[in-house]
Structure 1
Amino acid sequence: WGTPCLKGHCVTTPFPLLSQKALSILIRILASIPAVDLVLACRLVCCQWKNLVDGAALWILKCQQEGLTGAESQENAENWQNFYFLSKKRKNLIKNPCGEGERPHWGEVENGGDGWKIEELPGDFGKEFPSEEVHKYFVTSYEWCRKAQVIDLRAEGYWEELMDTTQPKVVVKDWYAGRSDAGCLYELCVKLLSENEDVLAEYKSETIAIPQDNDANWTEISHTFSNYGPGVRFVRFEHGGQDTLFWKGWYGVRVTNSSVTVEP
């Protein structure tokens, strides 16, 4: 297939030009190779292979083969290689979002009243969650309860150049509800942090008041960070609330199914 490269650069012997048909066949062959091997091995074979691996055609084909494309993604994905890797890696970076554990991974910023509690859906005077996959929720007490997680993006596989240059979207979502016999308050605050934990971007909801005698329906709140500039290394997610009647026990806001995803 030609003379190998040294450190990603071709030696002086020229690589024979391939016809359009041969290039098409080569792209189809390369598309069957795992993505990591394409970048770490195939890309170093020669200049022509490097150009193919760095080009859009190969990654468009891989995305099509693995069902990662659609009209919206084809229109918006400027870098198909990054689009492929981000799509494959897409997952919820929040640990224990639905209270299936006692609260591992969550740090308690504030634990007022009787503190946080985990309950089974739908709970007293509550409603079932819209998704059958969610079975539990966290509930607050009669003074402010807040809990937080800090996500290390590099540890999750989002390398520095990707975050600094591509700046993929960071999508934050949370679900909250009150119980129908008690009023409550809810807040969400998410920060994008630098290596030194300086705040580079921030979203803070208003304090949302749910009145007593509400319908107890679950409500989703979301925010998308984009064009946030270089240097983002961590995401800090914090939410919480309290009841407004100051009843002893757990009559405050209920939260579950929290999520932070990095998307193309």
Structure 2
Amino acid sequence: VDNSGRCEKSGEKEENSSEFPGPRMESLPEAVLIRILASIPAVDLVLACRLVCCQWKNLVDGAALWILKCQQEGLTGAESEENAENWQNFYFLSKKRKNLIRNPCGEDDLQHWGEVENGGDGWKIEELPGDFGKEFPSEEVHKYFVTSYEWCRKAQVIDLKAEGYWEELMDTTQPKIVVRDWYAGRSDAGCLYELCVKLLSENEDVLAEYKSETVDIPQDNDANWTEISHTFSNYGPGVRFVRFEHGGQDTLFWKGWYGVRVTNSSVTVEP
């Protein structure tokens, strides 16, 4: 193409640009630009908008945009949230927050639970409140697992990367990993309960561990449901899996299902 051709195209470009008078995006006040960007889906902000120019990259990497998105979507308010250091990570962790334990209440029999130890007559799923039992504090829970006259245990291993928690996030931010479980006995029988949770590396080395004491529930107890919880934090880099295990037995060695009852187990990754 000769010089005249290039000049002609240049002239066309100038003529076309004159058809759209007014300020360009880069001339907008930063506060206005942040409000515009806050209306864009978070994934697009990180994967596309961040690559447009240095100004947009700085805004996407900064706190103001993510604070606004958190406010717009109702993700702020608690003290821990107000003190969040990395608001982008806080936003994504808050949006992804869910129970990573599958089938926590026995609605799908023993599906998703592995390494099952069926002592005595093995695990059984029963409807709440059950014989000599109490209703669960939440109306959303309808069933529980119950143990027998010898130790019954079951476990789940959660793949954090498969659940969307990328390696850099786990290694640098090290978000809290919160573990909860609920247990109860029946009022006419004594029982034992244990919980053990391990944070594992890619090679399944144990990087952190929580093990409860062996809870001894006496016969003639009140059958109330009790919550047990533990929060892992500052656990160091390399965590890729969470192994959750719980179980128990009755202490009278009665045939059938008189042991500890468990339900509504949960593992959550939180800001």
One fold, TM greater than 0.5?
yes
Q: Choose 73-82 or 247-256, whichever is displaced more.
A: 73-82
Q: Which runs of 4+ in 1 moved over 2 A?
A: 7-10, 14-21, 73-76
The share of aligned pairs that are identical, in percent, is 91
Cα pair 1:175 1:220 within 8 Å, conserved = yes
The one-character-per-residue Cα deviations of 1:180-229 (angstroms, maximum 9, x if unpaired) are: 00000000000000000000000000000000000000000000000000
Contact 1:68 1:84 in 2 (8 A): yes
Matched residues in 1 for 2:5 and 2:135: separation? 56
Q: Secondary structure at the match of 1:19?
A: helix
Gaps of 5+ in 2: 8-20
Query: Mean Cα displacement is larger for which, 16-25 or 196-205?
Result: 16-25
CA deviation digits over 1:106-142, x for unaligned, max 9?
0134210000000000000000000000000000000
Is contact 2:171–2:239 with CA below 8 Å preserved after alignment? yes
Moved more, 201-210 or 69-78: 69-78
Instruction: Describe the shift of the 1:144–1:187 C-alpha distance in structure 2 as closer, same or farther (beyond 3 A).
Output: same
State the shift of 1:16 in Å: 12
What is the CA distance between 1:241 and its match in structure 2? 0.1
Distance (whole Å) between structure 2 residues aligned to residue 134 and residue 51 of structure 1: 46
Q: 1:258 aligns with which of 244, 262, 265?
A: 265
Once the two structures are TM-superposed, the CA of residue 102 in structure 1 deviates from its matched residue by 1.4
**Is the Cα–Cα contact under 8 Å of residues 153 and 234 in structure 1 kept in the other structure?**
yes
- Aligned CA RMSD, in angstroms, stands at 4.4
For the 8 Å contact 1:8–1:44, the answer to whether it is kept is no
Q: Which has the larger radius of gyration?
A: 2
Quick check: 1:8–1:43 contact (8 Å CA) kept in 2? no
Q: Is the 8 A contact 2:248 2:260 kept in 1?
A: yes
Asked if structure 1 preserves the Cα contact closer than 8 Å seen for 2:75 and 2:94, the reply is yes
Verify the 8 A CA contact 2:25 2:33 in the aligned structure 1.
no
TM-score by length of 2: 0.90
Q: Against the structure 1 CA distance between its residues 20 and 261, is the aligned structure 2 distance closer, same or farther, given a 3 Å change threshold?
A: farther
Q: Which residue of 1 aligns with 2:85?
A: 78
Deviation by residue 1:32-78 (Cα, 9 ceiling, x = unmatched): 00000000000000111000000000000000000000141443210
Distance in 2, Cα, partners of 1:250 & 1:212: 14
Equivalent residues in 2 for 1:51-200 (5 A)?
51-200=58-207
**TM-score using structure 1 length:** 0.92
Q: Does 34-43 or 105-114 show the bigger shift? A: 105-114
Query: Which consecutive unaligned segments of at least 5 residues does structure 1 have?
Result: 1-6
Contact kept in structure 1, 2:76 and 2:82, CA below 8 Å: no
Deviation readout 1:7-27 (Å, 9 max, x if unpaired): 9999xxx99999997100000
